[in-house]
A and B are shown apart, each in its own frame.
Chain A
Amino acid sequence: MRLVGLASVLLVLAFSVPTAAAPWTIDLARSRLGFTATQLRAPFDGEFKKYAATIDFDPHNLVASRVAVEIAIESVDTKNDERDGYIVSHEWMAARTYPTARFETAGFAHLGGERYEAKARLTMRGVTRDVVLPFTLKIGDDPNDSTRLAARVEGVLTVKRTDYGIGQGQWVATDMIGGDVRIKVSLTATRSK
């Protein structure tokens, strides 16, 4: 009887621990973490050049999948040094106090075909908020390396900068520096077959 009991406990334990998803390596050369913001009511593009991602993803095991991205705020590039200087300054992203932003998934949903959704926690300027990033995912052979698979993720997430305290004091007003920022994610990650 005790043996059956023990075996049952072991069986239950075995099925309740999820199997690991697959680890992927981000290919920075084929990736871009960009955004579109508005200034004086006109849209302009920028990107963050330095970021690191830990990707554990298996489309057949979304429950065990996790993605965490850490972004170096000082790596912002909007093709204008003066503006980049303001972006990292204290009233804006306060990079000296908060040098990184973080995006950590809490769950994935498959919407059908190549469409997915990531529920995540986004932390910017020390403030964490729940966000949802809809994205498309294509997995296929890596054209650069036949021994590897490449995953291409494209997604857009619009955030309100004031939700994160980005733009303090007089900059809370969103007429000249728009409140909405469209974050555009185009990432390529690879793993061995």
Chain B
Amino acid sequence: MRFRNTETRFGAMAMTLHWLVFALVVAMVALGWTMVPMPVSADKLRLYDLHKSIGVVALTLMALRLAWRFTSPPPPLPHHMKPWQRALARASHAFLYVILFAMPLSGWIMSSAANFPVSVFGLFTLPNLVAPDKALLAAAKTFHRFTSYALFALLALHVLGAFKHHLIDKDDVLRRMLPGRGGR
């Protein structure tokens, strides 16, 4: 497999970043769903600590992915796709990028507005993006929650789209994001 993307498939860099981010998103959702309803306890704090630290890693990976997408553009969409399908594919990918930046950034704003600074695995602490602010904290909390719902919706669309291409169109859209079969 090549490191960069080719005309027909994704390269090792894009593939690794894509599946890493997917794994982190699954972890983040699992942590978020578990930690928020817990009554305050040391264990709840430990989950928040993990959620915030992994969130910073995810944000960093998204920045890398964005930079990489300009360095090595993705392979073109299959010929059989109609204009509305192309538009939907491009829009959903763009929205996924936006959401995957908006989630960690709104989380960072929440932590800043709450005066609960973000430590990354105890190694270093992020600067606060904003001064402590009750109204901003409430707004960031709401934004973070509703953006997570948008993330679920887009994830579902993204996965369903991949399977539609693989099982119904029988093209290589899903396969070219998976290792194996030797690249060109």
Residues of chain A having any CB pair with chain B under 8 Å: 39-45, 78-81, 83, 86, 170-171, 173, 175-177
User: In the complex, are the beta carbons of B49 and A41 less than 8 A apart?
Assistant: yes
- Closest A residue by C-beta to B115: A79
CA distance A175 to B48 in the complex (A): 13
- Closest A residue by C-beta to B41: A170
User: In the complex, are the beta carbons of B115 and A86 less than 8 A apart?
Assistant: no
Known: A40-B52, A80-B114, A80-B132. A177 touches B45 (CB 8 A): yes
User: In the complex, are the beta carbons of A173 and B116 less than 8 A apart?
Assistant: no
User: In the complex, are the beta carbons of A80 and B49 less than 8 A apart?
Assistant: no
Q: Please, which residues of chain B bring their CB within 8 A of the CB of A80?
A: 114-116, 132
User: In the complex, are the beta carbons of A43 and B116 less than 8 A apart?
Assistant: no
User: In the complex, are the beta carbons of A42 and B45 less than 8 A apart?
Assistant: no
Residues of chain B having any CB pair with chain A under 8 Å: 40-42, 45-46, 48-49, 52, 114-119, 121-122, 125, 132, 134
Kindly list 6 other residue pairs between chains A and B, CB separation below 8 angstroms, not including A43-B125, A170-B41, A177-B42. Answer: A39-B116, A40-B52, A41-B122, A44-B117, A170-B42, A173-B42
User: In the complex, are the beta carbons of A175 and B115 less than 8 A apart?
Assistant: no
Q: Please, which residues of chain A bring their CB within 8 A of the CB of B40?
A: 86
User: In the complex, are the beta carbons of A40 and B42 less than 8 A apart?
Assistant: no
- Closest A residue by C-beta to B50: A40
CA distance A79 to B119 in the complex (A): 18
- Closest A residue by C-beta to B117: A42
Q: Please, which residues of chain B bring their CB within 8 A of the CB of A173?
A: 42
Can you sample 6 A-B contacts with CB below 8 Å? A42-B125, A45-B115, A80-B114, A170-B41, A170-B42, A176-B45
Q: Please, which residues of chain A bring their CB within 8 A of the CB of B114?
A: 80
Known: A39-B116, A42-B118. A79 touches B132 (CB 8 A): yes
- Closest B residue by C-beta to A167: B42
